[in-house]
Structure formats: structure tokens, C-alpha cells
A and B are shown apart, each in its own frame.
Chain A
């Protein structure tokens, strides 16, 4: 039970971190040096 809670907490943390990284990708500064991935439609809005 406890382990499940820790796992879920960690996964939520990873998901938040990924969302933060993705949000920096929509800013005016380019995170990529010679390639930029396709931005998801939900972030373009």
C-alpha cells in the first residue's frame, strides 16, 4: 500500500517535471541546437 503511494507520488513528480520541460519548449528561446521536435497541438493553443 505504502509502496504504491510512493510510486504514484514519484510518477506524478515525473509527469509534472515533463510538463514543465515541455512548457519551456513553447517559449521564445530555443531549447534545441539543431533540431526541434513537433510541438503538441495542446501546447500551441
Chain B
């Protein structure tokens, strides 16, 4: 849907400006980026608002995005799958964060997620896909540094929530950071590829 809409608008714009096909492809790509992000964000905000978990879902999302932005990681091969799985995942994480857990369990989760994220930055960041690979060692180091700065800010936020007794927000931040690094790790790649395969099967069965 996003691709069709982007193509329609881009071709309309391109024909008005008498652009060539290469320029039109660039407009389509730009529109896909804008619309893709907008529709997904809107769906997550609306669904979490209706389910009464908007605050924790947004904290989870805000913790998740910066790591993925600088750290890279796995992607689905279609927008539909990305939209569906992304929406379900954030709704579940937002709801899960609302559960009150024991303080010692929360502290253990904070320590484990920090260890996992610091290990991931050293070991896997920046994680590429077949569409985009970062091979330049200097750029790779720069992405690691950027992700490390993100992790420091994430830690500070967690401790600020902790000292304000906002334990649900702590839990939401921990889950957001943890799942972000999970999708940068090889296990995350395997999970998404498995899910991709399962969803492809359903699609084929539907067609038959």
C-alpha cells in the first residue's frame, strides 16, 4: 500500500516537474521512508492509546529506535510484515511493561540488558542487511561510538526513572533496549527470517 501510494504521488509530482525516471525513483524512495514511518507510528500510538498503555509503549519505542538507527540490524522483506509484527511487538511490550515486578527482578533485568547491549555494541554493531552493508572500518567504528553514546543516554534515563520510583517506565526502557539489541544480534536475524518464512507460507496458502 505504501509503495503504491508513494509511486502515485511521486509520478504525479514528477510529471508536473518533468522529472526523469531516476528522479522519480528517488521521490518514490523518499515518500516510502516518510509514509512507512508515519503509518507505523500512527498505528502504534492509536492502538496503545486504545489499550491504555500509551506511556509505556512510547517509552519502549523511544528506547528502541535510537539503537536500531545507529546499530542497524535485521529487517523484514516487506512493509506489511514489518507493520504487523512491529505493531504487535510494541503493543505487547507496552502492555508487559505495565506489570508490576519485584524490584530485585527489575535490577537483575537492568544488569543483564546492560551487559547484552554493551556486548552487542562491541560484537555486532553496525549489523547490515543484504540491502545495506557497512564495510568501511572507520564508519563501523563511528557507528559503534554513536550506539555507545545512545546506550549511555539510555542508562541515564533508566536510572532517572529508577530514582523517581517509576518502575514501569524502567521496565519499558529495559525491554525497548533489550529487543533493539536482540534484532541486531544473530539470534534476532534467525527469528525474523523464521517469521518471514512462516508468514510467506500463509501468504501462499491464501493465494491457493
Please give, as numbers and ranges, the residues of chain A lying within 8 Å of B146 by CB-CB distance. 29
Instruction: Write the chain A residue with the least CB distance to B131.
Output: A36
- Give the contacting residue for A33; candidates B34, B77, B82, B142; CB below 8 A: B82
Q: Give the A-B contact count at a CB cut-off of 8 A.
A: 113
How many A residues have CB within 8 A of the partner chain? Answer: 29
Query: Quick check: A37 and B143 within 8 Å, CB to CB?
Result: no
Residues of B within 8 A of A41 (CB): 22, 25
Which residues in A have some Cβ–Cβ distance to B below 8 Å?
A: 8, 11-12, 14-15, 17-22, 24-25, 28-43
Q: 27 A-B contacts, Cβ less than 8 Å apart?
A: A11-B17, A14-B13, A15-B13, A15-B17, A18-B13, A18-B27, A18-B34, A19-B23, A19-B30, A20-B30, A22-B26, A28-B134, A28-B142, A29-B69, A29-B146, A30-B73, A31-B37, A32-B36, A33-B82, A34-B82, A34-B86, A34-B183, A35-B79, A35-B82, A36-B132, A37-B3, A42-B25
